[in-house]
Amino acid sequence: MLKLLITLVGTLAIGAAVLQTRQQRLELYHQANQLHRQIDEEQTHLWAQQYRIALVTAPNAVRETVRNAGVPMSARDPLLPPGGASRMNSRAIDPANDPSAEGGAPPQ
Residue-wise pLDDT tens digits, 48-93: 999 999 998 898 888 888 888 888 877 776 666 665 555 454 445 5
Residue 48 CB-half CA count within 13 A: 6
Rounded to the nearest 5 degrees, what angle is found at the Cα of 62, between the Cα atoms of 59 and 68?
140
What pTM value is reported for the model?
Answer: 0.49
